A = this chain, B = another copy of it.
């Protein structure tokens, strides 16, 4: 029995879980799972010390055999180094795997959260039956992970599958990254909500239903409110939703023309809309994709939910060649 420690370091939360290879394969879950806010001030020594403290508290008597770590990029997955984690202070060139491995006496590996979400869905979730798949996470941003022949594609500087930065609106509004009309800028949860706020500001009467859902304060509006209003058939919400889906289709269409995977798994908050997202997305894809046979490509939502990056870290720990 091989005991796995999985760690997920996010911008606001840390999560630490313990599982075994057997349990992971059977139920895709952790025997022990702890989540808490990132300890202040959030710099590497503080965060690493707290992660180690939790790991020791929940460790089985036999200790850990394998360790997997999820964190936002840019990172060097081969060296186990965090190049830069901009959401927390001081996270530049941190030899995270070395520190954790030395402290706990087990080998550690790391990758970014979107890649690990892909790995989890591939081995434990919606992608169990295929060898090649694209995972896309649509939440505040848009990211992804690409798996070809059971292996993650990393690309130079682990920059593969940064699918949020495909151009979908030529000469469109500027994305935070510097390019115009990126998929993330046109269709992420954050940007759907931003667009709604702008349209409501211009015409409050049209935004009546959305304003009601967010308690009258449009600054509080999120993509969840828009999905709720789409369910009600609210015209403004539907207009925003359909536009976002059209951009998703243009972006996914471009990706299909590069790798033509048999499966696309959509994760992240926005994907929880389920068929409300999938049905119009499939329709819209049929308007943009002709060279790749769409009847041979499944587009589905993720199966694993919020803990997918942590589960992916456990999968990474347990597979030596991924």
Contacts and interface: CB of A to CB of B under 8 A. Distances in A.
Q: Counting chain B CB atoms within 10 Å of each CB, which of A166, A177, A250 scores highest?
A: A166
Contact of A259 (B153, B168, B181, B260): B153
A289 B179 contact: yes
A276 to B, nearest CB: 24
Contacts of A55: none
A61 B36 CA distance: 76
Contacts of A151: 149
Contact of A261 (B156, B172, B181): B156
Contact of A288 (B160, B179, B261): B179
Contact residues of A: prevailing secondary structure:
loop
Contacts of A155: 132, 259-262, 292
A226 to B, nearest CB: 22
Contact of A258 (B149, B160, B290): B160
Interface in A211-235: none
Contacts of A293: 156-157, 159
Interface in A186-231: none
A146 B177 contact: no
- Interface size range of chain A in the complex: 35 or more
Interface centre among A166, A169, A257 (most CB of B within 10 A): A257
A250 B180 CA distance: 10
A258 B157 contact: no
A157 B292 contact: yes
Contacts of A169: 170
A177 B291 contact: yes
B257 A166 contact: yes
A237 B218 CA distance: 50
A128 interface: no
Contact of A297 (B156, B162, B164, B180): B156
Given A170-B181, A259-B259, 11 more contacts: A148-B153, A153-B259, A156-B293, A156-B297, A157-B296, A160-B259, A163-B257, A177-B291, A178-B290, A179-B287, A254-B258
Give the 4 A-B CB pairs with smallest separation, nearest first.
A155-B260, A159-B260, A156-B296, A159-B292
